Every structure is written in C-alpha cells, then in structure tokens.
Amino acid sequence: MSSPRISVILPVYNVEKYIDACLRSIKNQTFKDFEVIIVNDGTPDKSMDIARRYAEEDSRFLIFNKENGGLSSARNFGLKQAKGEYITFIDSDDRIRSRHLESLFRAIVRFKADVAICDFKLYYQNKNKLSSSGSNLKNNRLYDTVDGLKELLSDRNMRFYVWNKLWKASLFRESGIMMESMFYEDIVVCSQLFCHVRKAVTISYCGYIYTRAFSKYMEVSMSRSRINDYINTVPLVRKYLSENKLYNKVKVPFSLHIMHVFLSVPFLVFQARDDLDKGVVRNSLSGMGRVIKCCHKPVGELTDLISKDSVE
C-alpha cells in the first residue's frame, strides 16, 4: 500500500463537544489522499467514542493510544506514526474548510516549497461569531530562508502557529526537530523549522477555523507556568537562530518578538492574578530581566536564561 501524500496529526483530549465537527470537516475535504493520525492523549471523556466511529467507517482515520502527556507529547507521538510526504496539524476543537488540504497541497507542489501557509478565521464560542485573523497573506508569495524567518518572527501574517501550515515531512525527519514540552511551543518549533525552510509559499485562501472560548484577550486563562514558558521562547529561539548562523540576519524582526514578550508580561500577570500567592509577580519581573539579557548575551550563555521554574 502506497503512503499518503498528507498526514494530518490530530491530538485528542477532552474535546467531545467539538471533535465530531472537526473530523467531519477533514472527511469532507476535496483532497482525498491523506491519513489522519488520531492521538488519544488519555482523554477521560467520550471523544474517542466519536473518533472510533470515523475510524470504523473510513480506513484513512487511524487511532493511536498513549498516556496523557500534553499537546506537545501527542504531536510528537503523531509525528513518529506519520507516513505522509507532507504533514499538517489540526487541533481537535478546530475545523477546516473543504479546500484546506487541496489549496495547501497545490501551492507546496507547484512551487516546490518546504512549507505552505494559509490564512485562518477565529471562531469565538461565546458569541458564535467568525472574525478575521488580521493577517494579510499574499497569494503565491515566495520567501527564501531569511525572508521567511523575518516574516514569521514579525508575527503579523504567517503567524507562530503550526496548524495553518502544510510542512514537508523531511523538515522534521532530517532536522530532528520535535515539539518542546511547554506552553507556546508553536513559537519555538515554527522558528526552528523555518531555519531549515529553503522556500516558503503563502496563499490567501482562508482554510482553517481556530476556536477560541472568548472574544476578549484578557479572558484567556493564564498562570505562572504559562508566563514563564512565554518568556522562555525568547532565549530558546535566539539560541537556535544563533546556532544556525541566522541570528544576525534576522535581528531586527526578532527584536519585535522580544519587545512583544516584554510588553505583554504585565498584562499576563494581571490575568494570573489568582495565582499571585505563588510568586507570579516576582517570577515575572525576573523573567522580564531575562528577556532584556537575551539582547546582548553571547550564545553560550543563553541556556542559563531558560528557566525551568513552573507551578501547576
């Protein structure tokens, strides 16, 4: 049996309200040559009962079970099972439009690219409303390694998400890149992968529907460990850029990420105000200091700026 052209990696945990719509949107794709790696990350609800129905009806839907390890762990598990020439990720509370896979596949093949990027919509559950992502992706726009990194690091259009992209599977296999076990892992892994992307292509098609619980940014849950991991994206990304001799070429757009992290921390601390007794303020002030140090520390000292502190 030949390998599928695309592997869709779908981690599953506590999504019984959403997974049927997600799986149905995948099954209804105009592009048919795919497999779906459904990773049961030890979900305690009835999500897998729904997933099993799809697997019984369609041999392209494959179920794999593992102990709960979080989103990054489930994605990494899925990567090891994937047989496709190309890989995409879908979160199981999201969904995709019917030409999502076809549009990305046509672009990545036509331009012999390593990654294709599409636009997305935000779906707010509390208002049952679709909104624009605010991105402005140009159709069939090509980027080399440095220009692609500059565009990604600015986080205006390509955005730091793995799921609005179709990746050449060899990017993962040849680089050995895996998802970091942390919050905001997409920032780190996208930046790492783009260091190995020789050609990227963007398309204006809006194929991904990203579900958010609330329409207001400040209503997203926050904690000390989330803030810490967000701060850690700065030394982690800078270290990888430097090790691959790309930092000096993208220093300006990377400084935008540094500035965004630094200015966001006070707002994130306010969101985590219920966690204040666990040292959020002290830890976050220290983290802001680490962000500033990342601007001038030599690469050999960046590991010291990656804090392992977390509170569950």
Q: Model-level pTM greater than 0.95? A: no
Does one domain contain both 42 and 185?
A: yes
pLDDT for the residue numbered 130:
79
Does one domain contain both 57 and 198?
A: yes
88 in a structural domain = yes
Mean predicted lDDT score pLDDT of the chain: 88
310 band by pLDDT with thresholds 50, 70 and 90: very low
22 in a structural domain = yes
Output the DSSP codes for 36-89: EEEEE----SSHHHHHHHHHHH-TTEEEEE-----HHHHHHHHHHH---SEEEE
pLDDT for the residue numbered 173:
94
pLDDT beyond 90 at 62 = yes
pLDDT beyond 90 at 159 = yes
Does one domain contain both 208 and 226?
A: no
98 in a structural domain = yes
72 in a structural domain = yes
Share of the chain above pLDDT 90, in %: 66
149 in a structural domain = yes
* H or E element in which residue 105 lies: helix 100-110
Does one domain contain both 274 and 205?
A: no
* H or E element in which residue 251 lies: helix 251-271
Q: Of 196, 212, 228, which one is at a domain's C-terminal end? A: 212
Q: What is the pLDDT of residues 7-56, one digit of tens each?
A: 999 999 999 999 999 999 999 999 999 999 999 999 999 999 999 999 99
Share of the chain above pLDDT 70, in %: 83
CB atoms within 10 A of CB 252: 10
Range of the domain at 259: 220-304
Does one domain contain both 226 and 204?
A: no
Q: Which carries the bigger pLDDT value, residue 153 or residue 256?
A: 153
Does one domain contain both 112 and 14?
A: yes
pLDDT beyond 60 at 218 = no
Number of domains in the chain: 2
Return the amino acid letter for 164. N
311 in a structural domain = no
pLDDT beyond 70 at 257 = yes
Does one domain contain both 207 and 275?
A: no
* H or E element in which residue 132 lies: strand 129-132
Does one domain contain both 52 and 137?
A: yes
Does one domain contain both 167 and 264?
A: no
1 in a structural domain = no
Contact indicator for 267, 288 with CB cutoff of 8 Å: no
pLDDT for the residue numbered 215:
41
Q: Of 180, 212, 244, which one is at a domain's C-terminal end? A: 212
Does one domain contain both 202 and 226?
A: no
Does one domain contain both 169 and 236?
A: no
CATH code of residue 82: 3.90.550.10
Q: Which carries the bigger pLDDT value, residue 205 or residue 263?
A: 205
Q: What is the pLDDT of residues 269-306, one digit of tens each?
A: 766 655 555 555 666 666 666 666 666 666 665 676 56
Q: Of 158, 182, 212, which one is at a domain's C-terminal end? A: 212
125 band by pLDDT with thresholds 50, 70 and 90: confident
CA–CA dist 156, 45 (Å, integer): 36
118 in a structural domain = yes
Does one domain contain both 49 and 193?
A: yes
